[in-house]
Amino acid sequence: MTGIIDYKAGNIRSVELALRTLGVNYRISDTPEELEGADRLIFPGVGEAKYAMKNLKERGFDAFLHQWASSGKPLLGVCLGSQIIFEYSEEGDTPCLALVPGAVRRFPDHFREHGLKIPHMGWNNVTFTNGGSRLFDGIQEGTDFYFVHSYYVDPIDRSIISATVDYGMEVPCGIRHGAIEAFQFHPEKSAMGGLRILANFTAADRQKGPLC
């Protein structure tokens, strides 16, 4: 069973619709105890880091996610959920979960001088790095995914970067750290490429045939 963490800062509805399309057996919960028996977790998120961390702590998800990561069971972070797995975010000067060494930084203001808007919003193509990820199986390099973010992840260990996107600089947009996978873009909003990622992650829970 695939668990989806609901901490009132996640893009839950879009993720749920994508999993329904794929025929995935899933459970959404705002209570850690209800997700303890899951085989894998999706950790979505939109909004502001400080607010998200406050909600996670109030619901006990901070300790739960540390225990989950220690267990080695698969965890998929999406958008804000790909950021607050790091140690610190410049957004609101926020200490985060520290599941992955590194920080989350704001795009430089000088990007605007070069015609680059902040947030980085819309479709952009990704480049696989360091061998990519098994979650990219069946996806061609250069596929477009949908982004909405003003902050980007900056891991200490650059070898864990599985994908990058060009937006004024080489921006990490995929992370692979043990059983943790994370993407800055929104797979659930990224058409067939995004569905393929979710299908690869939830393969054992899918009731339908292979994704065409």
Q: Which amino acid is at 8?
A: K
| Contact present, 42 and 80 (Cβ < 8 Å) | no
Q: What is the pLDDT, as a whole number, of residue 212?
A: 45
Is position 79 annotated as part of the catalytic site? yes
Is residue 182 assigned to a domain? yes
Residue 181 falls in the annotated catalytic set? no
Range of the structural domain that residue 104 is part of: 2-205
What pTM did the predictor assign?
Answer: 0.95
> Given this model, what pLDDT does residue 144 score?
98
Active site residue 188: yes
* Total domain count, the chain: 1
Residue 116, in any domain of the structure:
yes
Q: Which of 162, 157, 159 has its CA nearest to residue 172? A: 162
Please give the pLDDT value at position 209: 53
Task: Give the active site residue among 87, 181, 188, 212.
Answer: 188
Reported as a single tens digit per residue, the pLDDT across 80-120 is: 999 999 999 999 999 999 999 999 999 998 888 878 999 99
What is the distance between the alpha carbons of residues 83 and 89, in angstroms, rounded to a whole number? 8
Backbone angles phi, psi at 67, to 5 degrees: -65, -40
Can you give the CATH number for the domain in which 138 is found? 3.40.50.880
- For residue 211, is it within any domain? no
Q: What is the pLDDT of residues 163-187, one digit of tens each?
A: 999 999 999 999 999 999 999 999 9
